[in-house]
Amino acid sequence: MQKSASAASLGPGGIDLSQIFFKPTQNTSTPSPTKRHTKISVIGTGNVGMAIAQTILTQDLADELALVDAKADKLRGEMLDLQHAAAFLPRTRILASTDYSATNGSDLCIVTAGARQNPGESRLNLLQRNVEMFQGIIPPLARSSPDTILMIVSNPVDVLTYVAWKLSGFPSNRVIGSGTNLDSSRFRFLIADHLDVNAQDVQAYIVGEHGDSSVALWSSISVGGVPVLSFLEKQQIPYEKEALERIHKAVVESADEVISLKGYTSWAIGYSAANLARSLLRDQRKIHPVSVLANGFYGIAGDVFLSLPAMLGRGGVLGVTNVHLTDEEAQRLRNSARTISEVQSQLGL
């Protein structure tokens, strides 16, 4: 494994102990290439990118972590800040470069880079700026790691995942968007907090657009295996459709609430992306609501990416779960798909 250039001598104009401190045994051959060497690249070292990178590091998900950004100083500072923790972590190689060659041989590339919305700017205009940015990001990533899995986090995630798919030329199982994985976690948190139960015992999906037209799958929510709505009906407990819609709305507004309070979100999306990375790279075959090519599911026609409950593993998207949707849920999902397609069609890709 190559040392960083600065380590060639210990200290400025310093001592070189590297050849003498450790002696190889007799008759060695060069070290076997490590068969399992997991490399993750994170593009964009803003709050989101760094929360993702740091969580991946703490959770020991990779042997090598590459950071790429356009701002060289910030990038180097973030790399050093992670490297300085070496004594407290399992050994992970951390590198950083403004050049995409640093991402060579990545098993997973996570893209968080994106323009921030200017005051008064239309969503479409913001989108067009991000598409341009992706034209400088996706092709080099695909060249440097032709077999990698691309995970898009930048917003609007569904459209940008479609863009990444088009620009990379990858098969659709290797391009996903973080989608509603986090919305679903927030949803599960709300329900779990109310019932004072562990959030991991709450199965609840939000699917569709990661945005205003997302769809809460009320008919599929269960706690410890007990479907919530049927439970209410059996117990003859009345509930109003509006109450459910308000809960869903609270989830959709969660991100805006955090942004209005602390200026941005970072930790939760960091955990969400690391969670997806783990399912993919450790071949966990777990089901996550993430943005996938939805063409052909639930009556959705046309190339559009939106979140569906998908089984993820080392091969990327292994399949979409055949969840039973009510007619209304399926209709809302198709509306969500149309919302996204409308925007996409203006991009000329």
154 is in an annotated binding site: yes
303 is in an annotated binding site: no
The H-or-E segment that residue 78 falls in is: helix 72-83
Tell me phi and psi for residue 68, to 5 degrees.
Answer: -130, 135
202 is in an annotated binding site: no
Residue in 154, 85, 80, 78 with CA at minimum distance from that of residue 117: 154
Contact 136/156 with Cβ under 8 angstroms?
no
Of the two residues 168 and 185, which places its CB atom closer to a copy of itself in the complex?
Answer: 185
Of the two residues 99 and 196, which places its CB atom closer to a copy of itself in the complex?
Answer: 196
- Name the minimum Å distance from CB 327 to a copy of itself: 23
- Name the minimum Å distance from CB 140 to a copy of itself: 24
27 is in an annotated binding site: no
In the chain, helix, strand, coil percent, each to 5? 45, 15, 40
263 is in an annotated binding site: no
Tell me phi and psi for residue 98, to 5 degrees.
Answer: -80, -10
Bridge partners of residue 207, in order along the sequence: 215
151 CB-near residues (< 8 Å, 6+ apart): 108, 109, 110, 111, 176, 177, 178, 273, 276, 277, 280
- Name the minimum Å distance from CB 84 to a copy of itself: 4
Active site residue ranges: 210
- Name the minimum Å distance from CB 142 to a copy of itself: 29
Give the C-alpha separation, 84 to 268, whole Å. 24
- Name the minimum Å distance from CB 302 to a copy of itself: 31
Of the two residues 79 and 109, which places its CB atom closer to a copy of itself in the complex?
Answer: 79
- Name the minimum Å distance from CB 150 to a copy of itself: 21
Of the two residues 20 and 322, which places its CB atom closer to a copy of itself in the complex?
Answer: 20
69 is in an annotated binding site: yes
Of the two residues 129 and 248, which places its CB atom closer to a copy of itself in the complex?
Answer: 248
48 is in an annotated binding site: yes
The H-or-E segment that residue 32 falls in is: none
CB atoms within 10 A of CB 135: 12
Of the two residues 17 and 301, which places its CB atom closer to a copy of itself in the complex?
Answer: 17
Pairing of strands 286-293, 305-313: antiparallel
Tell me phi and psi for residue 25, to 5 degrees.
Answer: -75, 170
56 CB-near residues (< 8 Å, 6+ apart): 40, 42, 62, 65, 273, 274, 277
Question: Each residue of 328-347: b (16+ CB within 10 Å) or e?
Answer: ebbebbbebbebbbebbeee
What residues are designated binding site for NAD(+)?
44-49, 69, 130, 153-155
What residues are designated binding site?
44-49, 69, 130, 153-155
